[in-house]
Amino acid sequence: MAAHPVIVAIDGPSGTGKSSTSRAVAARLGLSYLDTGAQYRAMTWWMLTNDIDVSDPAAVAAVAAKPSIVSGTDPLAPTITVDGADVSGPIRGPEVTGAVSAVSAVPEVRALVTELQRSIAAAASGGIVVEGRDIGVVVLPAADVKIFLTASPEARAARRSAELAGVVGGPATDVARTREALVRRDAADAGRKASPMAKADDAIEVDTTDLSLEQVVECVVGLVEERRGRRRS
């Protein structure tokens, strides 16, 4: 358990190294870890599995409270279940990826999931790293450390393509097509009315385009340790 509990918010679009960085930082510092994007994917998976029309916000809102989503916060082995079933694999598939922006834009969904995220962060007595798109602005605006990761569209597309190949087990997807999908997702997430993706005014921006994962992790760990040092002084 961390000696000085700290809440770290790491935001940014897909392909910036957000998940890998967040998990590694949490493990290095002995903190809990929460992937908020997985929660929205889990909600989307439930909607699709139960034949809910994800293009109909009213239909999504009407059943948003039904699924029970539970997130494990061990950075070395994070888990996500829906109604007791492990969905860590299925939520990364292309069908969920294509629908998650629409589901996560529904205000009722965001309200429910945001409350869940806040309760998990509050229960993490030793501190927690929370990654997402609106953590520093909406979910945990009082977070001790706020990081916003960015990277060039080309770098993000290459990383995301390789990641998808690893999850699905097939050949890497077309990088150009992946880049187009990422740009569309960015526009949808930044343009939605409910909790749009945004950089908090007091967040530190880290461009990961030309940095290795270890370099990004070292940077973020340093920022957290600096915050802890100010607390002790």
> Residue 165 belongs to a domain with what CATH number?
3.40.50.300
Task: pLDDT band for 179, please (50, 70, 90 cuts).
Answer: confident
Read off the pLDDT of residues 27-58 as tens digits, 9 standing for 90 and up.
999 999 999 999 999 999 999 999 999 999 99
Task: Note whether residue 198 is domain-resident.
Answer: yes
Q: DSSP secondary-structure letter at 135?
A: I
Range of the domain at 92: 7-223
Least confident of 5-14, 93-102, 185-194: 185-194
Q: Are strands 85-86 and 69-72 parallel, antiparallel or unpaired?
A: unpaired
Work out how many domains the chain is built from and give that number: 1
**Cα of 153 vs its chain's centroid, Å:** 18
Task: Note whether residue 135 is domain-resident.
Answer: yes
Report which of residues 152 and 187 the model is more confident about: 152
Task: pLDDT band for 90, please (50, 70, 90 cuts).
Answer: very high
Q: What is the mean pLDDT of residues 67-75?
A: 98
The predicted pLDDT at position 119 comes to 97
Task: Note whether residue 147 is domain-resident.
Answer: yes
54 by DSSP, 3-state: which? coil
Task: Note whether residue 36 is domain-resident.
Answer: yes
Q: What is the mean pLDDT of residues 91-111?
A: 94
| CA-closest candidate to residue 70, choices 81, 59, 78, 61 | 81
Task: pLDDT band for 155, please (50, 70, 90 cuts).
Answer: confident
Contact 189, 134 (CB under 8 A): no
Statement: residue 118 has pLDDT above 80: yes
What is the distance between the alpha carbons of residues 13 and 173, in angstroms, rounded to a whole number? 19
Task: Note whether residue 114 is domain-resident.
Answer: yes
Task: Note whether residue 1 is domain-resident.
Answer: no
The predicted pLDDT at position 164 comes to 62
Please give the order of strands across the beta sheet that includes 7-11. Answer: 32-35, 128-132, 7-11, 145-150, 204-207
Task: pLDDT band for 2, please (50, 70, 90 cuts).
Answer: very low
198 CB burial (10 A radius; 0-12, 13-18, 19+): middle
The predicted pLDDT at position 7 comes to 96
The predicted pLDDT at position 198 comes to 77
Contact 43, 90 (CB under 8 A): no
Task: Note whether residue 231 is domain-resident.
Answer: no
Statement: residue 137 has pLDDT above 60: yes
Q: What is the mean pLDDT of residues 124-131?
A: 95
Q: What is the mean pLDDT of residues 63-73?
A: 98
What is the distance between the alpha carbons of residues 98 and 192, in angstroms, rounded to a whole number? 16
Give the chain's mean pLDDT.
Answer: 88
What is the distance between the alpha carbons of residues 75 and 65, in angstroms, rounded to a whole number? 27
Task: Note whether residue 199 is domain-resident.
Answer: yes
